[in-house]
Structure formats: C-alpha cells, structure tokens
Amino acid sequence: MESTSNATAELRTRIRQQEVVAELGQQALETRDIDQLLSETLRAVTETLETDYGEILEFRPENDALVLHSGYGWDGFDVGASIPTGVDSQAGYTLLSEHPIIVDDLQAEDRFSEPALLADHDVSAGVSVIIGSIDSPWGVLGVYTDDTCEFTEHDANFLQSVANVIGTAIETEHTRRELEESYGRISDGFLAIDEEWTFTYLNDRANQLINPEDRTLVGRSVCAAVPDAIASQFTEHFERAMYEQETVSFEGYYPAPLERWFEIRAYPSDTGISVYFRDISERKRRERERELFRTLLDYSNDGLLVIDPQTARFLDVNETACRRLGYDRDELLEMTVPEMEHLFEDIDDWQSHVSDVKADGSMTITGEHVRKDGTTYPAEVNIAHVELDQPYMIGIARDITERRERQRELEASNERLEQFAYAASHDLQEPLRMVSSYLQLVESRYADELDDDGEEFIEYAINGSDRMREMIDGLLEYSRVETRGNPFEPVALECLLGDVLEDLSVQIEETDAEITTGQLPRVSGDASQLRQVFQNLVGNALTYAGPERPRVHVSAERTGATWTVAVRDQGIGIDPDDLERVFEVFERLHSHEEHPGTGIGLAICRRIVERHDGEIWVDSEPGAGSTFSVTLPAVEPDG
C-alpha cells in the first residue's frame, strides 16, 4: 500500500513538472520580457522541487565570469556579484558539464568548494544545470535547500528542461533584437503586415518615410491607418504577394502629404508579408529631367551625336540627326563616323582628329554628311572631347545648306553691287569731272565779269561736285569691303595703331592731341581693313573734340574668344537718339560747314567689322565724350 502511494506521489510530481515546463514554454512564446520570465522560472522550479532557494547566473565571456542575475529566497542577494567560472565552485563546475550537477551533501562535496552565498544560508544540497550549450553557454540555473534532500534524476531532467526553455527564449529574443537592429540600420524601409492586414512591425526608416506624424501604427489595420486613395495603389500588389505567395516588385507614388515615389518589394511569409521599400523620388526627378532633356534634344534643329573616341562608333544620337541622315536610330548606332562624314577617310584619320580636339578641348569643323540614300549635305559640327564615366566625343551638327545658299546669293549680290557701284562711279565721275572742269573754265575766263555772288555760286557748284565725287568713291569702297578684302591673318593691333597715329600725325600736331593706349592684343583679321577702321575712329575723335584739347584713349579687354577694343574720347558726344544712325550710309549729324566728310566712314567701319564676325557700337552722351567699341576674334598665343 505504501509503495503504491509513493508511486502515485512520484507520478503526480512528474506530471506537475511537465506542466511547469509547458507553462514556462508558453510564457516564453508570449513574452518579450526576459527578466520577468527568469523571475517566474525561479519561483516555479523552487516551488515544484520544494527547495528553499533558486538562482540564475549569467556568463560574461568578455571577463570569463559568472554574475548573479536573478535569485529566489535569498537574503542579501547581490545582483551583479561575480562567481569564479573554474571548477572551484558548483556553478563553474556546471558550466563545464553537459549533465546536471547534483549535490546531496555540500559539506562532504570534494569536487568543488562551498561558495559564500550557499555557506551563509546553510545550504546542504542542490542541483544546477547549464543554460545553453557548453560551446555557447548563456549561464547556470540552480536550486538549493538547507534540508537533507536527495534529488532524483527526474528532478535534474526537469530542471534541465526548464533551462532549455529559458535558453531558447533568451536566444530567440537575442535574435529578434539583432534583426530589429539590422532592420533599423538598413537604408530601406521595412514593415511587416499580418494575415489580418495589421501592421506588426516598422523599422525606423519606415517610420521616417511614411509616418512623419509619428503615429502609432503597430497593431493598427492598414485600411484604418492609410487613406483609401493611397492604399488602393498598393492593395493589388500586396494581395498578390499575400494570397498567391509570390514575391512582388513595383514602383508607386505616395501622394500628399508625402508626395514621394517608392520602389517596393513585398515578400510572402507564413504569417503575412514583409515589405521593403526605398524613397526613389530623387531618382524619379532625375529621370523626368533626363526625359525632358531628351525630348528637348529630339526637337532641336541641330543633330546631337555622342561618339566613342576610340572606335568612332555612334553611342547615341537624337531624332534630328536620324531625320537628317535618313537612318533609324538603331541603324546609326551600328555605324561609325567615317561612314557618314567624307571629311574622315578611315579610323586613323578620325583618331588624328580626336587628338586635335582633345588638345584644344573643342573645335568647329565643316564637312559633307552622307545620307542613307547616298546624297550629301554640308554640315557644320561643333565637337568637344569630354571625360565623364568614360571619354566621349560630343558633336552638335547643323545643316548649313540654307546658309551656303544665302552665302552664294550674298556673294552674287555683292558682286552685282560692286559692278553697279563701279559702273555708277565710272559713269557719274565723268559728268562730274566735266561739270567741275567747265565751272573752273568759266571762273577763269569770265572772272572779271563775275560779281561777288557769281563767284560764290561757282565756288558752291565746284565744292558740290567735289563732294559728290568723294561720296561716289566712298560708295565704291563700301561695296568692295567683302569682295576686295585680304585673307585673315594674325594682326598686332599695337603696331597697327602706331601706323594709324603716324598717318594722323599732322592732325595730331595741329590739335595738340593727347593719345594714350593700353596693352593691345593680336587679333585675326585683314590688316588693311582694320587699319582703315581705327584710322576712322581715331580721326573722328580728333575731329569732334570740340574746343578743348583732344584726349583719346585706346584699350582692349578679352571676353572668351574675342577682344573688345574701345576708342574713348572726351569730345562733343552724340545724342542718344543718334547712336545707331551714325552707322548708316550717308548719315551726317553735322553740316559741312561745321565738320567736313561724306557720312560713309562709320558705315564702312561697320561693314568691315561684320566681315570679321564682330560688332561695333557707341556709348555717348552730348558733352560727355564717346566710346566706340569693336569686337574682333582673338588669336591664341601659338596662333
């Protein structure tokens, strides 16, 4: 009868032990508070095994020590106190053992010494087990009593089962924290949604991106937390990931208040979906800018050519280039420059050109582009060598067919104008010489019979015919600016101005003029015509100086590939309304009695400057002097 009673009691104890393990296992699944779980564990095992004390020690590998983490039943339990990890203590001995350590009589134990905590509480027996594995221990779980007690193998196995439960809970929580830290560190947003479409997790980046108001989203329904207008854009994709268990990637726009684009990847799981997303608004903005830029390039009147410097193969072209050449874009991208440009015979010729462009940075060339049908058209190409992710040759090609036609028409017009001017000059000069000769003959033959009025009238007529002859000569000179000019070459303006001042030396002496110059550059041009321009400008400055001593200063300033040369005086100045008029043919602002001249000098200057692809203008106010400015092409130091 007694043995049956003992067997029943033992069975009940074992059942209770199993229940405790199950209860602690369920609690471990439901809680994230490890400290609370450890406290509950100590209470449960000491009550179940009917012991007086319980302790959990945590192993600290960094200093190879066991420290008191949690205790039950002790007086003066010093949390954080260290215990040796060697075989000198029961806890240290347990840490090195795969099996529970059972002590029935601590005073008689010869495997290790009695720790102070146990001695102070008259502990006589106990059992301890490792939490975790020998290779990676977390700590030690032990229970003790001050009564005589014989712990059974079932008691030790029960304690080991409990240690396994809390060891697993500790490892799970450690892994969970590492994952959360990892999710928090990643630059992508991460969130988790369960099968009930409820937020279960958002990392810090996700909150920054979609929850700037810092609302509490975990535990809330997606539908309740996100407006319908926004959720509807993502629902279809998330449902496919959730219900079809398929990984889904897409891009979506989140409107106000975020107004952002996201790249989203949804991964299915057993409990719902995991969503990774990143803000791609900046990338989308750049894509829109590139698309707009591409559209603008395609609508440009000029062809854009991106070329590989090594192979001469086209890497990219715009629609204008395709349309001009008659090729599809894919066809052009299979071609090389020598195949559509007669200027280059082969790749070696192209490579030589690349070297020249690379040395200069950029240059403008004129050639003949070959269309798909074999016809050609003249093209002016501004080409540059640039270094980006790799070297490129960038060409902007302009069809100059119309320009060539206008140039031919202009040349023909100029030729006709010169012929007309020459004919007019020749035909008009002869009658004028006759009129002038006969007037002089009348004056000499009938001088005694003419009164003062008659002599004055004859003088007016002779002067008029002389002025007419000068105007005709000026018109002829104006017409020949384009056709009779010399080829351009480097011109040293400092030397040229010295020649001009020598030609004007008599007028300079007569007026006691003061003429100063800054450092003057070399320019590209027709030296003879440029000399005529500056002789006219300096001569006008002397002529229109007014009553004061003439003071003239000539200076130059570079802007990009051009020089601006200025002739400044302190003369009588020009009314603002007449600043443009002075450059017109035969336009005079003063009478012949005030200042002699034909009124064509500045018009010739303008035509000469325009032949040099420059500009001429004047800044002036009456009584404040005038500054005539001329732009001319610069000559590089080695030019």
Got the DSSP string for 611-632?
HTT--EEEEE-TTS-EEEEEEE
**Mean pLDDT of the region 505-524:** 89
DSSP 341: B
3-state secondary structure (DSSP) of residue 377: strand
3-state SS class at 285: helix
Cβ(83)–Cβ(91) under 8 Å?
yes
Q: What is the mean pLDDT of residues 524-551?
A: 86
Tell me the per-residue pLDDT of 203-262, one tens digit each, with 9 for 90 and over.
888 887 778 788 888 888 887 777 665 566 678 888 888 888 888 888 888 777 778 888
Residue 185: exposure state from Cβ atoms within 10 A (0-12, 13-18, ≥19): exposed
Structure confidence by residue, pLDDT tens digits, 320-373:
888 889 999 899 889 888 888 877 888 888 888 889 888 888 888 888 888 899
How many angstroms separate the Cα of 198 from the Cα of each of 29, 162, 214? 20, 34, 17
The pair of structure tokens assigned to 310 is: 């090594």
516 φ, ψ to 5°?
A: -125, 155
> What are the C-alpha distances in Å from 222 to residues 129, 201, 213, 232, 443?
46, 12, 16, 11, 115
Q: Residue 597 is encoded by which pair of tokens?
A: 């001249």
Tens digits of residue pLDDT in 108-155: 787 777 677 777 888 888 899 999 888 889 999 999 998 888 888 888
**What are 144's strand-pairing partners?**
53, 126
Specify whether the CB–CB gap between 106 and 148 falls below 8 A.
Answer: no
Please state, as a whole number, how many other Cβ atoms lie within 10 Å of the Cβ of residue 532: 18
Q: Which residues pair with 277 in a beta bridge?
A: 189, 264
pLDDT score at 592: 45
- Mean pLDDT calculated for residue range 585-614: 68
Secondary structure of residue 566 in the 3-state scheme: strand
Tell me what pLDDT residue 597 has.
47
Contact yes or no for 371/379 (Cβ under 8 A): no
- Alpha helix segments (H runs only) across 200-312: 204-210, 222-225, 228-243, 281-298
**Rounded to 5 degrees, what angle do the CA atoms 130, 158, 34 make?**
60
Query: What residue has token string 């003249």?
Result: 378
pTM tops 0.75: no
* Residue 258: how many other CB atoms lie within 10 Å: 16
What is the distance of C-alpha 390 from the center of its chain? Answer: 16
| DSSP one-letter code for 93 | H
pLDDT at position 466 is 63
Burial 348-371 (b: 16+ CB within 10 A, else e): eebeebbeebbeeeeeebebebbe
Q: Identify which of 173, 180, 175 has the alpha carbon closest to the alpha carbon of residue 35.
A: 173
* Alpha helices in 130-193, H assignment, sequence order: 153-185
Torsion of CA 604, 608, 614, 619, to 10 degrees: -30
Q: Where are the alpha helices (DSSP H) in 446-526?
A: 452-479, 493-503, 505-511
Q: Which residue has the higher pLDDT, 77 or 551?
A: 551
C-alpha–C-alpha distance, residues 466 and 435, integer Å: 10
Nearest CA among 627, 612, 506, 621 for reference residue 562: 612
Q: What is the pLDDT of residue 590?
A: 46
How far apart CA 86 and CA 93 sit, in angstroms, is 6
CA-CA distance, 186 to 274, in Å (whole number)?
A: 14
- CB neighbour list of residue 286: distance below 8 Å, 6 or more residues apart: none
Q: How far, in Å, CA of 415 to CA of 423, rounded?
A: 12
Contacts of residue 267, Cβ cutoff 8 Å, sequence gap at least 6:
241, 247, 273, 274, 275, 276
Residue 387 binned pLDDT confidence (cut-offs 50, 70, 90): confident
Please give the Cα distance from 176 to 191 (Å, whole number).
14
Residue 203: φ, ψ to 5°: -80, 175
Give dist(CA 143, CA 240) in Å, integer: 53
**How far apart are the C-alpha atoms of 456 and 480, rounded to whole Å?**
36
Give alpha helix (H) positions in 326-400: 329-332, 347-360
Q: What are phi and psi of 219, to 5 degrees?
A: 95, -10
Specify the pLDDT at position 271. 83
Over the chain, what is the mean pLDDT? 81
